[in-house]
A and B are shown apart, each in its own frame.
Chain A
Amino acid sequence: MASDRIFGLVVVIGALAFFAGALQIQTSFLSDPLGPRVFPILISGASLLCGLSILARPDPEPHWPARAAWVAMGAALVVLVAYAYAVVPLGFLIPTALASAAIGYLIDPKPVQSVIMGAALSAVLYVIFKFGLGLGLAALPRALMG
C-alpha cells in the first residue's frame, strides 16, 4: 500500500516534470505540423493517468528485503560503479578478479571460496575474450604495460 502510494506520487511528479521539459524543447519554424513537442507531451499525459490510477488503486505491499540485504545490495552497487571506472585504467585482470570475488561473496559469504573463484573467473574470461573471441582487452594497468 504505502510503497505504491509513494510510487504513484513519484510517477505523477515525474510526468509533470516531463511535461515541463517537453515545453522547453526548441522548435524550428521548418517543422512538420506536429513538431518535436507533441509526442513527449502525449507521453507525459498518459504517464500522469497511470500515476493517478496507481495512487487510486495501490497493490498490496511488496516483500521488501531486510536491512542486511539492503546493505549487501548497496555494496554491490558500489562495486559495479567502481568496476566501470576502474576497468579502463587498471586493465581487465585485477578489477575483474576483485569485482567477481566481491559479488560472489555477497551471494555466498565464504571469503576463501570467493577469492579463488574471482581469480579463476578473471583469468578464464580473459583467455576466452582475448584469444577465443579476439576482443582487444588490456590485461594490466597501463602504467605497467609501458
Chain B
Amino acid sequence: METLANLSMGFGVALTPFTLFLAVAGAFLGTIIGALPGLGPSNGVAILIPLAFALGLDATQSLVLLTSVYYGCMYGGRISSILLNIPGDEPAMMTTLDGYPMARQGRAGDALVISGVASFMGSFLSTVGLVVIAPVLASIAYLFGPAEYFALYALAFATLGGMTSSNQAKSAFAACLGLGLAVIGLDNATGLPRFTGGNLHLMDGIDFLVAIVGLFAISEIFIFIESHGRSSAIGVTLGKLTIPWADLKATFATMLRSTGLGFIAGILPGAGASLGSFMAYMAEKSWVGSSGRFGKGDPRGVAAPEAGNNAAAGGAMIPMLTLGVPGSGTTAVMLALLMTLDITPGPLLFKEQPEVVWGLIASLFIANVVLLVINVPMVKLFVKILMVPPWILMPMVTMVSFVGIFSLSGSYFDMLVMIAFGVLGYVLRKLEVPTVPVILGILLGSAMEDALRRAMVISDGDWTYLFSTPIALGLWLFAAGGFLAPMFLRRLVKRPPIPPSDMPLDAD
C-alpha cells in the first residue's frame, strides 16, 4: 500500500508538462544515440550530463532526462543490429544474430516490431520489479556499517572486473588506476594534499565528469580515426510496417523468460545489460532446443536478447539507487550525475528525498510508454538518422563534449585533462583493459577509503573487524566468487560467433 502511495506521489512529480517534455526529448535522443554505431549508452549519457547542468535542471529533471536517454539507448541499439548487422551498442550485439537474417529475408519490419515490443516488455516489467525490490533492499541496507560498505565496494570491483574482461589482472589494474586517481587532491579527513605535485588545479581532485567524458567520448575519436569510420555495410531496405500478431503471440513466453533472466543479471553489481542479453539469448536457445532456427532468423532470437538487455537496464538501477553501487558502466555514469547533484544514493535517499526516487521511477514508466510509441510506429524516422556518416558524427560528439566540459568550469585545464583521459582511454582499449572499472574507481574511491577509515576508527585499527559480521563475510565470499568464477565459466560457455565489425563497440 505504501508503495502505491509513493508511486502516485512520484507520478505527481513526473507528470508536470516540463518533465514530460524532458522524458519525450530524452527518449528520442536516447534512441538516436543507441541506434548510431559508435555512440552507446555510457558515452551518450556522459556527454549529456554537463549540458544538463548548464541548463540548470534540478535533480529530478536531470534524472528524468538522463534515464530516458539510457532507456532509449537500450531500445535504439537494435535498429542498426537488424538493418546493418552492426550493433548500435554492445548490449544489442546478440540481436544481430537473428535480427539481420530476418531482415535479409525481407522481414526487417517484423523484426523491428517484435524487438520493440520485447524491449517494452523487458523494461516495463523490470521497472515493476524495481518498485517492488528497491524499497526492500533499501531497508536491508540500513544494517550496513562501514565494514559492510567496504566489502560491498570490493564486491562491485570484483564482479565488474570478473565479468567484463578476459584478463582478470587487467581489470583489477583498471580498478586500482581509478582508485589511485580518486586519491589525488585534498584528503577529506585531514585536509592535507595528496599527489597534487603542488599544482593548484589538482587540489580539488580530478572531476569525474571530465574523466568520464574523456574516457568514453574522446577516446572514441581516436578509434574512429584509426578505423577511418568504416561502416560500409550495405543496409537492408525497410518495407511496409505491419504488426506481426502471430509472431508476437509466439514470442510472448520468450519475452517473459528473458525478462526474468535479464533482470537478475542487471541486479548483480557489475554485470549490466550486455550480460543480460547474452544470458537471455543463450538460455532461450537451449530452452527451445533443436526445433528452433536460431542464427537463421528465428523471431525468438530477436525477442530474447532485446527483452533481456532492457530488463537488465532496469535491474541495474536497483543496486545504484539503494546501495550507491552501480551495476554497469551506464549506471556508474548515472551515479556520477547523482553525486554532482549532491544526492547520495543509498537507503537514506528513500527516506529523505522520496520525491527524487519515486519521481524517477514514475518517469521510467512514462519513458517506456513514450519509447514504445516512437520505436514501433515511428521507427522509419530513426532508420533515416542512421545514415549520418562518421565524418559528421564524430566532430559533433567532440564539440558537444568540449562545450559540456567547458560550461562546467570554464577552465582550459579541465579540457586538457579530458583530452589526456581520451588518450589514456584509447591506449587502455587497445590493450584490452576495461575502462568501466577506472570510472567506478574514480567515483567510489573516496567513499571506499572513508568506509575503511571509519571502520578502523571503530575497531581502533583492528583489521579483522572488516570480516567480523556475517553480512560482511558473505559479501567478501561473493566478491571472491564473482572475480574467480568467470575464469572457469569461460571454458564451459562458448560465445556464438558475432559478425566481425570494424566499428568499435561501447560497453553499456
Chain A residues at the B interface, C-beta cutoff of 8 Å? 3-4, 7, 11, 15, 18, 21-22, 25-28, 30-36, 38-40, 43-44, 46-47, 49-51, 53-54, 57, 59, 62, 64-65, 69, 72-73, 76-77, 80-81, 83-85, 87-88, 96, 99-101, 103-108, 110, 113-114, 117-118, 121-122, 125, 129, 133-135, 137
Q: A21-B195, A25-B194, A31-B189 are in contact. Are A54 and B173 (CB under 8 A)?
A: yes
CB distance from B62 to the nearest CB of A (A): 13
Q: Mark B160-175, 1 if CB is under 8 A from A, else 0.
A: 0000001101101100
A99 x B173 contact (CB < 8 A): no
One of B85-93, B329-337, B358-366, B415-423 at the interface: B415-423
B431 x A3 contact (CB < 8 A): yes
One of B9-17, B367-375, B397-405 at the interface: B397-405
Q: How far is the CA of A135 from the CA of B56 in the complex (A)?
A: 10
Q: A32-B457, A47-B176, A137-B403 are in contact. Are A106 and B225 (CB under 8 A)?
A: yes
Helix, strand, loop or mixed for chain A's interface?
helix
Q: How far is the CA of A7 from the CA of B392 in the complex (A)?
A: 34
B190 x A40 contact (CB < 8 A): no
A residues within 8 A CB of B430?
A: 62, 64
Give which listed residue, B190, B399, B460, contacts A100 with CB less than 8 A: B399
B228 x A36 contact (CB < 8 A): no
A residues within 8 A CB of B229?
A: 107-108
B461 x A50 contact (CB < 8 A): no
B residues within 8 A CB of A32?
A: 189, 453, 456-457
B residues within 8 A CB of A18?
A: 180
B residues within 8 A CB of A28?
A: 190, 192
Which of A64, A96, A108 has its CB near the most chain B CB atoms (within 10 A)?
A108
Which partner residue on chain B sits nearest A117 by CB separation? B392
Which partner residue on chain A sits nearest B56 by CB separation? A134
What are 29 A-B interface contacts by the 8 Å CB criterion?
Answer: A7-B431, A26-B192, A31-B190, A33-B453, A35-B190, A36-B187, A40-B194, A47-B180, A54-B170, A57-B167, A57-B169, A76-B221, A76-B225, A77-B222, A84-B415, A84-B416, A84-B419, A88-B412, A96-B399, A100-B395, A100-B398, A100-B399, A104-B395, A107-B390, A107-B391, A108-B228, A113-B391, A121-B392, A134-B55
Chain B residues at the A interface, C-beta cutoff of 8 Å? 51, 54-55, 166-167, 169-170, 172-173, 176-177, 179-180, 183, 187, 189-190, 192, 194-195, 218, 221-222, 224-226, 228-229, 389-392, 394-396, 398-400, 402-403, 406-407, 412, 415-416, 419, 422-423, 426, 430-432, 449, 452-453, 456-457, 460-461
Helix, strand, loop or mixed for chain B's interface?
helix
Q: A80-B422, A108-B229, A117-B395 are in contact. Are A36 and B192 (CB under 8 A)?
A: yes
B residues within 8 A CB of A125?
A: 396, 399-400, 403
Give which listed residue, B167, B399, B419, B461, contacts A59 with CB less than 8 A: B167
A118 x B395 contact (CB < 8 A): yes
A residues within 8 A CB of B402?
A: 83-84, 87
Give which listed residue, B192, B218, B415, contacts A25 with CB less than 8 A: B192
A residues within 8 A CB of B460?
A: 33
B residues within 8 A CB of A54?
A: 167, 169-170, 173
CB distance from A33 to the nearest CB of B (A): 4
A59 x B190 contact (CB < 8 A): no
Give which listed residue, B54, B222, B224, B406, contacts A133 with CB less than 8 A: B54
B189 x A135 contact (CB < 8 A): no
B172 x A50 contact (CB < 8 A): yes
CB distance from A16 to the nearest CB of B (A): 13
Give which listed residue, B167, B176, B194, contacts A36 with CB less than 8 A: B194
CB distance from B170 to the nearest CB of A (A): 6
Other CB < 8 Å A-B pairs besides A47-B176, A101-B395, 8 of them? A25-B192, A27-B190, A47-B173, A73-B426, A100-B399, A110-B391, A117-B395, A135-B407
Q: How far is the CA of A13 from the CA of B351 in the complex (A)?
A: 47
Q: What 3 A-B pairs are tightest by C-beta distance, nearest first?
A: A100-B395, A84-B415, A50-B173
A residues within 8 A CB of B406?
A: 87
A107 x B403 contact (CB < 8 A): no
B173 x A104 contact (CB < 8 A): no
A117 x B391 contact (CB < 8 A): yes
B residues within 8 A CB of A69?
A: 225-226
B416 x A81 contact (CB < 8 A): yes
Which partner residue on chain A sits nearest B430 by CB separation? A62
B residues within 8 A CB of A134?
A: 55
Which partner residue on chain B sits nearest A54 by CB separation? B169
A residues within 8 A CB of B400?
A: 125
B431 x A62 contact (CB < 8 A): yes
A104 x B392 contact (CB < 8 A): yes
Q: How far is the CA of A106 from the CA of B55 in the complex (A)?
A: 32
Which partner residue on chain B sits nearest A52 by CB separation? B169
Which of B51, B180, B195, B430 has its CB near the most chain A CB atoms (within 10 A)?
B180
Give which listed residue, B180, B228, B426, contacts A40 with CB less than 8 A: B180
Which partner residue on chain B sits nearest A102 by CB separation? B395
Give which listed residue, A25, A39, A51, contacts B449 with CB less than 8 A: A39
Give which listed residue, B169, B226, B396, B431, contacts A73 with CB less than 8 A: B226
Q: How far is the CA of A73 from the CA of B172 in the complex (A)?
A: 28
Which of A15, A36, A96, A110 has its CB near the most chain B CB atoms (within 10 A)?
A36
A residues within 8 A CB of B457?
A: 32-34
B residues within 8 A CB of A49?
A: 169, 172
CB distance from A143 to the nearest CB of B (A): 18
Q: A80-B218, A87-B402, A107-B224 are in contact. Are A39 and B176 (CB under 8 A)?
A: no
